[in-house]
Amino acid sequence: MPDPTVPPTPSVPLDALLAREDLGLRRIAGPDDPDLVVHWVHTSEMADPYPYLLGGELLLSAGVHIPDGAGPGYFDAYASRIVAAGGAALGFGVAPVHDTVPDALVEACALHGLPLLEVPPRTTFSGVARAVWRLMAQARLAELRRVTEAQQGLAAAAGRPDPVPSVLRRLAGRLDGWAVLYGPEGTRLAAAGREPGEEVRLALAGLADVVRPDVSPAGRDRPGTAPGGTGRPASAADTVAGTRLTAYALGAGRGFVLGVAAPRHEPGDHTIASVAAVLLSLLTGEHQSGRGAARSAALVRLLLGSTPEDVAGLLGGQEWRVVHARPDGPAPDHVAASALGAALGSALVDPDGRTVRVLVPGDRAVEALPGWTLGVSAAVGPREWPAADTQAARALARARATRAPLVRHGGRPALTDLVKGPDAEAHARALLAPLAAVPALPETLRTWLSLHGSWDRTAVALSVHRNTVRQRIARCAALLDADLDDPDVRMELWFALRRG
């Protein structure tokens, strides 16, 4: 029998369909197997339905194809072909063609182990199909609810003081099985749940070896071995002694593996175990590299009064760039922000509304990324990080206004560098004092001047209506008592805004 093509929908137990009183279906031949399931419904009046079946169907027929005087040989061939195609069951409609189910068909189905259901005259084939779809929808809803609850529980477990054992315990409880974490050398680091027998344990350890990358120097240097252990499957599954075994490689080639042994395979199990694998990848990654501990130490020191210069070494470098990023689509969530940080090569990520800020090592090139608009600061030391944050924000605003995927802050000396800092800052504060009460005014004026007085591009950069830009610029002109069409006035205000 060919393996049935499993559709992306939940299966329906045949017994659940028989239990529907509104259908009135009755099993009159074939095995009474509570594990028998239906994947879909198909109606056919072909004498040989084999070419039209994919497997797993409840085949419905009213017997139109049965010739007059058909003998046992016809029914035997018909039932055997349905079984050969992988059909799950046969439903025979009584009336209008046949008053009863032919006895020869009942005998043939019993002989070939094909469940035969009698469909009463009051039940239409479309009604049977509709009942199957509804049962599938109920099963899918139950599956989604189960997966969602499991995800929430695993996430809560990952936040406990003992995150790795907690995640394993929660996973084992959800799957009613055994969950184990193997280290890079194949050593069992932690486990939870009901431990299976030796045969299953050895088989699961062997399955873990299938997905574990070779993390030894010799393995990394071996011809044909991709960096990070790629080339191995991300997961592998097997069944031993009636137990479903699955192994998941964790992280990018670090050698940790999650193993799961469960007595049953329920819909959603793979999704639940995959969530646990992602969480354990993060946890083992922090443990393996020590970077997470270094970042935590840097944060604690900053909170306790250290300066950015003091903690820069813990972060891995002295010069850094600040990147401001906006997605082309909806506001990013924490997952999208983390993915952005990974693409830029940094875990120092700050999702702030629609903008994501990332601190990137200064020696790392920042290139445009599909789906994002980026503003990149100059590479600066810790003392200049706040200024670099401002540089990145302005570069992002310019990138959005010009619809460029990436804008970098220019590094050439400016005319403002010719004026001493304190004097320039004092002049800027005095000149811009009339606007200080409304923070939106100097920011709008700065953006408007940087875009050469374009109303539309300024509106895009600030995410406001162009009429709002006009009103704010008019108010700036009134409060400053200045002609903003005068290039000298614009130049002086631009220098002040750069210093302010």
pLDDT digits (tens, 9 = 90+) for 208-257: 999 887 644 444 433 333 334 445 788 899 999 899 999 998 865 567 89
Pair (322, 404) in one structural domain: yes
Structure tokens at 27: 């099993």
Examine the pLDDT at 124 and tell me if it is beyond 70.
Answer: yes
Pair (179, 228) in one structural domain: yes
Pair (226, 335) in one structural domain: no
Pair (126, 34) in one structural domain: yes
Mean pLDDT is lowest, of 104-113, 165-174, 358-367, 423-432, for 423-432
Pair (173, 266) in one structural domain: yes
pLDDT for the residue 146: 86
Assigned domain for 95 exists: yes
For residue 436, CA distances in Å to 443, 475, 495 come to 10, 13, 16
Examine the pLDDT at 418 and tell me if it is beyond 70.
Answer: no
Assigned domain for 296 exists: no
| pLDDT per position as a tens digit, 65-92 | 999 989 999 999 999 999 999 999 999 9
Q: State the residue range of the domain holding 454.
A: 415-499
Q: In which band, very low, low, confident or very high, does the pLDDT at 370 lie, cut at 50, 70 and 90?
A: confident
Q: What is the DSSP string of 6-45?
A: --SS--EEHHHHHT-TTTT-EEEES---TT-EE-EEEE--
Q: For residue 262, give the CATH number of its domain.
A: 3.30.450.30
| pLDDT per position as a tens digit, 129-151 | 999 999 998 888 888 888 888 88
What type of residue sits at position 202?
L
Pair (165, 277) in one structural domain: yes
Pair (364, 246) in one structural domain: no
Domain termination site, one of 253, 273, 289: 289
Give 348's contacts (C-beta < 8 A, 6+ positions apart): 295, 315, 341, 358, 359, 360
For residue 468, CA distances in Å to 92, 94, 399, 417, 461 come to 71, 74, 21, 33, 13
Examine the pLDDT at 296 and tell me if it is beyond 60.
Answer: yes
How far apart are alpha carbons 20 and 15 in whole angstroms? 9
The number of folded domains in the chain is 4
Q: How many residues does the chain have?
A: 500
How far apart are alpha carbons 287 and 274 in whole angstroms? 20
Q: For residue 428, give the CATH number of its domain.
A: 1.10.10.2840
Pair (186, 72) in one structural domain: no
